[in-house]
Amino acid sequence: MARRYWLVLLVCATTLTSGTIALAQGRSDPKPLWELLGETRVGFAVARDVVTVGQSYSFFRNRSYDRLRLTADRGEVKLQSLLVRYINGFEEKLPLDKSVRPGASVVVELPGRRSYIAQIEMTYSAVGGETLGGMFNQWLQPRARIFGLNSRIGLSQVDAETPPNWTMLGQDTVSYTGMGHVIRLANDEQWYKAHWFKSLHFIVSEGKLQLDDLRIVYINGFTETVLVGRDLRQGTDLAVELPGERSYLREIHMNYRNWPGSPKRAIVKVYGEGKSQ
């Protein structure tokens, strides 16, 4: 049974304690396959439509995606952007500016492996609906279908079992040459009022990295720092306990390095843990 330790963050102080390391079991990857996530009929003016996946947590336990594919028929769809919304409320916007002709498709790479997709919102315009033959031709309303390239592997056990009181704050794919990353939160007042966190969780879902320290910056400029100095492998959940409930986080600075010789670029995700539901 994996043991769990906490990094405790003290107000106005830099504290070094033990972190958490929980290793995922090694396994060979099965062949990925495309699966339909949803479809919608699109209008002829610039508009937004939402494709709702409508699946529960259990559906995604053995599913994760690194690419989406959008196909069009009965007309051309001019995509401007996609907004991917996850079950925990986290959103990622993917600008596209691509045209998909009838019978064609476009593949969109996600910024890392993803799962637990709740909705995909499309901003688009559609033109040139095909016509039916016969005495009276009829314009057909274009249809867009969205597929995900399913790796047929769930995310790490700790990631797959993310409880509902965790909110995803951001993630990063560690570059081979990079020395750190800043996750910036750009939320409105209502979001902050509804999201207070007692701890942060840093989950590594792929690869391995060396995490040196963290710095949390709040909207009012107040800064809290924690030293880590640990090697984090796939499946690690590094928990940083906050001194009381916190909100109004503006930036989370992660000072890290990709593990030398690692065949994969590490992916680290940051969650805020709120009150138990």
Q: Which pLDDT value is given to residue 70?
A: 92
Cα–chain center distance at 67: 12
- β-pair partners for 254: 181, 214
Please work out, in degrees rounded to the nearest 5, the angle formed at the alpha carbon of residue 142 by the alpha carbons of 136 and 146: 155
DSSP SS3 for 58: helix
Query: How many helices (H) does the chain have, and how many strands (E)?
Result: 2, 18
Q: Do the Cβ atoms of 252 and 270 come closer than 8 Å?
A: yes
Distance CA(243)–CA(231), nearest Å, equals 24
Q: Which pLDDT value is given to residue 28?
A: 44
Q: Which pLDDT value is given to residue 23?
A: 29
Q: Which pLDDT value is given to residue 236?
A: 75
Q: Which pLDDT value is given to residue 34?
A: 92
Q: Which pLDDT value is given to residue 10?
A: 42
Residue with tokens 């030293």: 227
Q: Which pLDDT value is given to residue 126?
A: 63
Residue with tokens 């040196």: 212
Q: List, in sequence order, the alpha helices (H) in the chain.
A: 157-160, 189-194
**List of domains in the chain:** 6-24+156-273 (2.60.120), 33-150 (2.60.120)
Q: How many CA atoms lie within 13 A of 276 on its CB side?
A: 0
Nearest Cα neighbor of 144 from 180, 102, 202 is 102
DSSP state of 57: G
pLDDT per 10-residue tile (average), the chain, 277 residues: 44 33 38 87 75 84 86 84 83 86 88 84 72 55 87 56 76 71 81 87 80 89 87 80 85 81 75 75
